């Protein structure tokens, strides 16, 4: 998985340990097997507008964003054993955060998010 930072359009850093699942197998595994997410961690599932928390050990906040990374929907506290899909037709990518983090980070519908990929070491 690629690593990145998550920011708001104004440059405010939200997360410094964002993982981006790019391959089918990375998206399929997602956060399975993890005991939780740290406060500075999250997972992005590009081109994925529905998720499930089957076999998960912890609850998530789910943020759906459009193709240009504008927040279209925030679903708080999705407990293990559930499935969620974007209600807004423009919801294209999914951001998974630990339960309560979307509120703590003040992520709201309409926010413009920016993913800044880490540069590889020379």
Domains, the chain = 2-117 (2.60.120.1140)
Token match 């506290």: residue?
Answer: 77
Collect the ranges in the chain with pLDDT lower than 50: none
- What pLDDT is recorded for position 119? 74
- What pLDDT is recorded for position 122? 63
- What pLDDT is recorded for position 120? 67
Full strand arrangement of the beta sheet holding 41-45:
71-78, 60-65, 93-98, 41-45, 13-20, 2-8, 113-117
Quick one: DSSP state of residue 34?
Answer: -
Q: Is the dihedral of CA 76, 88, 20, 116 positive or negative?
A: negative
Pick the closest to residue 18 from 33, 31, 28 (CA basis): 31
Cβ pair 105, 13 in contact under 8 A:
no
């Amino acid at each position: 998985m690629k690593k990145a930072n998550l920011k708001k359009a104004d440059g405010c850093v939200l997360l410094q340990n964002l993982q981006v699942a790019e391959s089918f197998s990375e998206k399929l595994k997602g956060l399975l097997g993890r005991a939780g997410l740290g406060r500075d961690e999250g997972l992005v599932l590009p081109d994925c507008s529905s998720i499930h928390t089957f076999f998960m050990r912890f609850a998530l906040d789910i943020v759906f964003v459009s193709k240009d990374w504008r927040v279209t929907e925030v679903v708080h506290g999705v407990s293990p054993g559930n499935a969620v899909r974007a209600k807004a037709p423009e919801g294209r990518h999914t951001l998974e955060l630990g339960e309560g983090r979307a509120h703590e980070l003040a992520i709201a519908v309409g926010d413009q998010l920016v993913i800044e990929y880490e540069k590889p070491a020379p």
